[in-house]
Amino acid sequence: FQQTFNFFGIKRIINFQVMIENQTLADLTSKLIPKLTNYFIEKKPDMVIIQGDTSSALCTAIAAYYAKCRISHVEAGLRTHLLFNPYPEEANRRMISALAGFHFAPTQIAKENLLKENIPENQIFVTGNPIIDVVKYTVETSKSKKNPPIM
């Protein structure tokens, strides 16, 4: 990850040291939610911006909610409408949406999914897909960098 962080100029703020090989999602969740909750209570962020649909993204949403932080979700509204496909991402997406106050949808279809779930339209913003933006940025920027990240 460090090579990619360096390429994008990202400075890691904190590492909770919770990732171990072959751990279950339940094990990860039981470690991550308390650490994130305490972190958010201590730091008191104005808003927690959550990217994607991983289990760590869901843990972040739950912890932010427990710490009474406002939550925004990037890549909101992506749906397969099949709870176990992809697993666990589809369930994670739905649960994050329930906690978020702002939803940054990559497409109009994603916005429509959120509207069907009774998310107020004034909380949904169609922003495009950040992954596509990253790929475009990487292609353009890597031409001038000596060691571009491997994606």
Q: Is residue 5 included in any domain, yes or no?
A: no
Q: Is residue 138 included in any domain, yes or no?
A: yes
Q: Is residue 16 included in any domain, yes or no?
A: no
Q: Is residue 4 included in any domain, yes or no?
A: no
Q: Which domain holds residue 117?
A: 25-142
Q: Is residue 78 included in any domain, yes or no?
A: yes
Q: Is residue 37 included in any domain, yes or no?
A: yes
Q: How many domains does the chain have?
A: 1
pLDDT score of 145:
66
Q: Is residue 12 included in any domain, yes or no?
A: no
Q: Is residue 17 included in any domain, yes or no?
A: no
pLDDT in tens, the chain (151 residues): 677 778 778 887 788 889 899 999 999 999 999 999 999 999 999 999 999 999 999 999 999 999 999 999 999 999 999 999 999 999 999 999 999 999 999 999 999 999 999 999 999 999 999 888 888 888 888 777 666 555 5
CATH number where 42 lies = 3.40.50.2000
pLDDT score of 137:
85
Q: Over 12-80, what HEC string results?
A: CCCCCCCCCCCCCHHHHHHHHHHHHHHHHHHHCCCEEEEECCCHHHHHHHHHHHHCCCEEEEECCCCCC
